[in-house]
Structure 1
Amino acid sequence: MGTHATVRKSGMVFPQNLSERSWEQIGANLRELVNSSAWWLADWLIYGEATYGWRRYKEAVERTGLDYQTLRNYAWVARRFEHDRRRDSLSFAHHAEVTRLSPPEQDYWLRTAEQQKWSRNELRRAVRAGLAAQSDRDELPDSTGDGGQDATAEAASPAGEQGGSKITTLTIELSAGQLEYCTKAAAAHGLPVDKWVARMLASAARQSA
């Protein structure tokens, strides 16, 4: 049988003397193959639709036996990422998580996921937390007096978290760079930025008490 795994249509057969290093490399190669195949199929679909027309393309999908809706989903993601914006270090699923965002937001979250080495699920939680925080900020009245040029974050005081206590609102003016830093830090903890700020302030108050 030799020292290499044998690939068959219905599975993979491994020799008894396969080294652990070789086994790990096979897994890494399979991961890359699975991730790349989604992009390949998506680009194949887009090319066929643009070159041969919708009806002929649909017939081609039926003849190949590939799942039509799955390919359509793949193409929907691929159309939102030009080749130079796709990140090889992240999976197709990572990109799918941010397809509904604007291109700058997509690039920000993918760059952060790449730097933080987030899994797809970690990216999903961070994006949801970030969107929730953005929604909360959008509902706040503008307190800057200059059309909202400066970013703001609001946090409830620690006392406001106690039952029956009055909640005090603290407004903090941040530069764009500071807000980006706070948003990134909050996302890493799976929190909206306002809740993360409140937690940091409470922690600092306890330490200085």
Structure 2
Amino acid sequence: MKSKQIRETNELQLRIGPYKTTFVGTEISRVSTLGEWQNYGEILKRVDEAKQWAIGDWLVDGKRHYGDGLYERAEKIVNIDKASLGKLKSIAERFELLLRSNNLTWNHHYEVASLKKTYRPETGKWKVSDELDTDKIQEFLKRAEEEKLSVRELGNIVSQFKANQQR
């Protein structure tokens, strides 16, 4: 009963051309054009992508206002394990809305999210700090966007960069 009540009060609807998607499926009001069909597929892909950001932002907000027991409550609500919830929250925290690229996936952002600044103490050897290197992160995201890098390609570039940082 509670599930039905939620659906009635928080109805989800996505309407594009002949397509109307609700909680239980997609109603098709007429024959779509090939362009409409392709466009709707792209939108569905983006909705799935947006879900990761939305859950992460929701968790950041929940932590700010409700603190303790956040992951236990969230796990029950969205049916995602605590480790995955932690990852979603962490990435959302690291990338303010304005720093996120609409042309890259959540996974692209995840690949660069661990880049840290380096420094050279008096000992002369380079060290990696705990501070995020936001300039380098933005540089890699810009490169991924311009070169249309896949997540795997970006991950390989980031791994190479990190390996060189350790030298």
Task: Calculate the TM-score normalised by the size of structure 1.
Answer: 0.56
Q: Corresponding residue for 2:61?
A: 47
CA displacement at 1:47 relative to structure 2: 0.8
Q: Corresponding residue for 2:126?
A: none
Q: How does 1:57-206 map to 2 (within 5 A)?
A: 57-67=70-80, 68-101=82-115, 102-135=133-166, 138=167
45, 49, 53: which is aligned to 1:35? Answer: 49
CA distance in structure 2 between the aligned counterparts of 1:127 and 1:15, rounded to whole angstroms: 46
Aligned amino acid, residue 20 of structure 1: L
Assess, with a 3 A threshold, how the Cα gap between structure 1 residues 15 and 47 changes in structure 2: closer, same or farther: same
2:21 aligns to what SS in structure 1?
strand
CA distance in structure 1 between the aligned counterparts of 2:76 and 2:34, rounded to whole angstroms: 40
CA displacement at 1:14 relative to structure 2: 5.4
CA distance in structure 1 between the aligned counterparts of 2:60 and 2:35, rounded to whole angstroms: 38
CA distance in structure 1 between the aligned counterparts of 2:148 and 2:56, rounded to whole angstroms: 25
CA displacement at 1:94 relative to structure 2: 0.5
Q: Does the CA-based 8 Å contact 2:75-2:85 persist in structure 1?
A: no
CA displacement at 1:13 relative to structure 2: 5.9
CA distance in structure 2 between the aligned counterparts of 1:131 and 1:48, rounded to whole angstroms: 33
Gaps of 5+ in 1: 139-209
CA distance in structure 2 between the aligned counterparts of 1:58 and 1:131, rounded to whole angstroms: 31
Matched, 1:18 2:27: no
1:89 aligns to what SS in structure 2?
coil
Count of residues in correspondence between the two structures:
133
Gaps of 5+ in 2: 1-16, 116-132
Q: Does the CA-based 8 Å contact 2:60-2:89 persist in structure 1?
A: yes
CA displacement at 1:83 relative to structure 2: 2.1
Partner deviation per Cα, 1:163-208 (whole Å, 9 max, x = no partner):
xxxxxxxxxxxxxxxxxxxxxxxxxxxxxxxxxxxxxxxxxxxxxx
* Bigger radius of gyration among the two: 1
